[in-house]
Chains A and B, each alone.
Chain A
């Protein structure tokens, strides 16, 4: 770039030129490493566990899009995740919808819910915004508890994974894994593109200083709503994918604790970092899986980690690493 020549050496070092897909060099390396892990890990670890990690990683990334880049802390993202799971599950089981379409329907229900919910919630900011999202998500929970199609306490069980594009039988975990890996990586890249788009630029400006963005003539509500809907849609896709992986959609997916878990994942990994939610999801899901034998102690350990993160590593795992290496991750 021509302008770079007038910038002093020290200043130029601070912000590297962004290359392909808006990744900085450090991010590109991290992305390649992450992709390598995604490709290699099913040969080493149990694929169902890995699929769970990837579903939650996408969910956390979708959540982080809103809190990390627009500054809106939603406390009701379980609604979009859970409804995504129910709709995908119901469509696949009751209507025999193929998996690719069923998952997209999960994303569509996320967006469809996100539109009115977001429209209501963005009227307020800070804690009030969070409380409105929580209240609306609780309404969705009670709807799911009562509505006949969700199966109440039983949930929707024995959801068939189906045949992808009429070719690939997803019953085998290994085949299913590649679909989940594809959805995760595509979702991750989409989120990264959103953050590094003209829209993302405005989003970050609103996060940094909303009154100033308004004073520049931006109708900030419209941008916030758009980000909200995008985040909800991706959460719905994550929920739908999870329903197919586990053949089940239950109240757990739509309960407020799920909203809390995604906050925890993003915090542990690092809010507003690209890779933080992925690492956070991996940490939390791993803990839940491998500490399951300790029963209720999992929650205590989770709580302790949460407190440790808030007190000691405010930037989260990835945020602290990035800070130590002086790169944006």
Chain B
């Protein structure tokens, strides 16, 4: 893959490799995500999707390879620094702050705009200035009625919606979503897909998915991983016709494979 970066590429990896005690989870992955697109990273269980995802967000250090974001080498950065550059991730297991209220969950992300919050002597009532924006974000994901509930009490699908609202609160340039529909009921899947589509406007989204149906409707480009390697890349139509991709999904109809799984 070309090393020169044009303005269209927001995130690019080269030779990205992660080994765990000899086991190669991700091997020589070259990924190129175009600005403003929804890019899907799919593959069967154990394909290295989540590892790849954790490498991109710096939650894991790569064994080899480089990651460039907005033309800048972020390979050696810490996760919090990457987040500050506008590259914000979600988690496979719904990542909310269970003992904070739904409103506080979003507000703690908005609070980042203050810079460091080390002022322990001041009242948190000054955070109320973020309430209006937090409520807007909650309205976007249909959670207004739950604003004062503890986030831990929300049903699973709503937690995912809250997580997306929290991520959006940072106004990220690029969102990385780790299996946003994992373990969801059918209606919830539809709702989250619609939500992702809506919030992707003006941003770039990289989506890790196990469920091919989800990516078919959403993604502009799809990268298929198997055994830590890139197997195919292209539009849904292109990759779904690829015989190797079909084989990787063990001969099952890719369209019906779904449910939970670790990448």
Point out residues on A near B: beta carbons under 8 Å. 1, 3-4, 6-8, 11-12, 14-15, 18, 21-22, 193-194, 196-202, 204-205, 207-209, 211-220, 222-223, 226, 230
Question: Complex Cα distance A6/B103, Å?
Answer: 13
Question: Complex Cα distance A15/B100, Å?
Answer: 11
Quick check: which of B22-30, B88-96, B223-231 contacts chain A, the rest being far away? B88-96
* Chain A contacts for B193, CB-based, 8 A: none
- Give me 17 other A-B pairs in contact (C-beta within 8 A), A7-B144, A199-B120, A215-B59 excluded: A3-B132, A11-B146, A15-B150, A22-B124, A193-B123, A196-B124, A197-B123, A198-B124, A198-B126, A201-B107, A202-B108, A204-B100, A209-B96, A212-B91, A212-B96, A214-B80, A230-B120
Question: Complex Cα distance A101/B170, Å?
Answer: 45
* Chain A contacts for B156, CB-based, 8 A: none
- The residues in B between 91 and 116 inclusive whose CB is less than 8 angstroms from any CB of A are 91, 95-101, 103-104, 107-109, 111-112, 114, 116
Specify which of B91, B99, B128 lies most central, judged by the most chain A CB atoms within 10 Å of its CB: B99
Question: Which of A4, A7, A193, A220 is within 8 Å of B121, CB to CB?
Answer: A193
User: Contact between B135 and A15 (Cβ–Cβ < 8 Å)?
Assistant: no
Question: Complex Cα distance A317/B107, Å?
Answer: 32
Can you sample 12 A-B contacts with CB below 8 Å?
Answer: A3-B135, A7-B144, A11-B148, A14-B149, A201-B104, A201-B107, A202-B117, A205-B108, A209-B98, A217-B84, A219-B80, A226-B118
In the A-B complex, the 3 residue pairs with the smallest Cβ-Cβ separation, listed nearest first, are: A217-B83, A208-B97, A199-B120
User: Contact between A214 and B83 (Cβ–Cβ < 8 Å)?
Assistant: yes
* Chain B contacts for A219, CB-based, 8 A: 78, 80
* Chain B contacts for A12, CB-based, 8 A: 148
Point out residues on B near A: beta carbons under 8 Å. 57, 59, 78-80, 83-84, 88-91, 95-101, 103-104, 107-109, 111-112, 114, 116-128, 131-132, 135, 144-150, 166, 170
Question: Complex Cα distance A179/B98, Å?
Answer: 39
* Chain B contacts for A14, CB-based, 8 A: 148-150
* Chain A contacts for B119, CB-based, 8 A: 197-199
Interchain nearest-CB distance for A17 vs B (Å): 9
* Chain B contacts for A22, CB-based, 8 A: 123-125
* Chain B contacts for A194, CB-based, 8 A: 120-121
User: Closest residue to A191 on the B side, CB-wise?
Assistant: B120
User: Contact between A211 and B95 (Cβ–Cβ < 8 Å)?
Assistant: yes
Question: Which of A7, A207, A223 is within 8 Å of B147, CB to CB?
Answer: A7
User: Closest residue to A13 on the B side, CB-wise?
Assistant: B148
Question: Complex Cα distance A201/B124, Å?
Answer: 8
Question: Contacts A15-B101, A15-B148, A208-B97 hold; do A1 and B80 have CB atoms under 8 A apart?
Answer: no
* Chain A contacts for B135, CB-based, 8 A: 3, 6
User: Contact between B120 and A193 (Cβ–Cβ < 8 Å)?
Assistant: yes
Question: Complex Cα distance A15/B152, Å?
Answer: 14
Question: Which of B88, B97, B145 is within 8 Å of A205, CB to CB?
Answer: B97
* Chain A contacts for B100, CB-based, 8 A: 201, 204-205, 208
User: Contact between A216 and B109 (Cβ–Cβ < 8 Å)?
Assistant: yes
User: Closest residue to B131 on the A side, CB-wise?
Assistant: A3
Main DSSP-derived SS at the A contact region: helix
Question: Which of A196, A198, A211, A226 is within 8 Å of B111, CB to CB?
Answer: A198
* Chain A contacts for B125, CB-based, 8 A: 18, 22
Question: Contacts A11-B147, A208-B99, A209-B96 hold; do A214 and B79 have CB atoms under 8 A apart?
Answer: yes
* Chain B contacts for A11, CB-based, 8 A: 145-149
Interchain nearest-CB distance for A11 vs B (Å): 5
Question: Contacts A11-B147, A214-B83, A215-B83 hold; do A198 and B88 have CB atoms under 8 A apart?
Answer: no
Question: Complex Cα distance A43/B149, Å?
Answer: 44
User: Contact between B97 and A204 (Cβ–Cβ < 8 Å)?
Assistant: yes
User: Closest residue to A190 on the B side, CB-wise?
Assistant: B121
User: Contact between B97 and A215 (Cβ–Cβ < 8 Å)?
Assistant: no
* Chain B contacts for A213, CB-based, 8 A: 97, 108
Question: Contacts A12-B148, A211-B91 hold; do A201 and B83 have CB atoms under 8 A apart?
Answer: no
Question: Complex Cα distance A290/B254, Å?
Answer: 72
* Chain B contacts for A207, CB-based, 8 A: 99
Interchain nearest-CB distance for A204 vs B (Å): 6
Interchain nearest-CB distance for A320 vs B (Å): 17
* Chain A contacts for B107, CB-based, 8 A: 201
Interchain nearest-CB distance for B60 vs A (Å): 12
User: Closest residue to A18 on the B side, CB-wise?
Assistant: B125
Question: Complex Cα distance A194/B122, Å?
Answer: 8
Interchain nearest-CB distance for A326 vs B (Å): 13
* Chain A contacts for B132, CB-based, 8 A: 3
* Chain B contacts for A222, CB-based, 8 A: 116, 118
Specify which of A11, A212, A222 lies most central, judged by the most chain B CB atoms within 10 Å of its CB: A212
Question: Complex Cα distance A208/B96, Å?
Answer: 8
Question: Which of A3, A18, A198 is within 8 Å of B114, CB to CB?
Answer: A198
User: Contact between B148 and A7 (Cβ–Cβ < 8 Å)?
Assistant: yes
* Chain B contacts for A215, CB-based, 8 A: 57, 59, 79, 83, 88-91, 95
Interchain nearest-CB distance for B140 vs A (Å): 14
Interchain nearest-CB distance for A190 vs B (Å): 8
User: Contact between B95 and A212 (Cβ–Cβ < 8 Å)?
Assistant: yes
Question: Contacts A198-B111, A209-B98 hold; do A216 and B88 have CB atoms under 8 A apart?
Answer: yes
Question: Which of A7, A8, A201, A214 is within 8 Å of B108, CB to CB?
Answer: A201
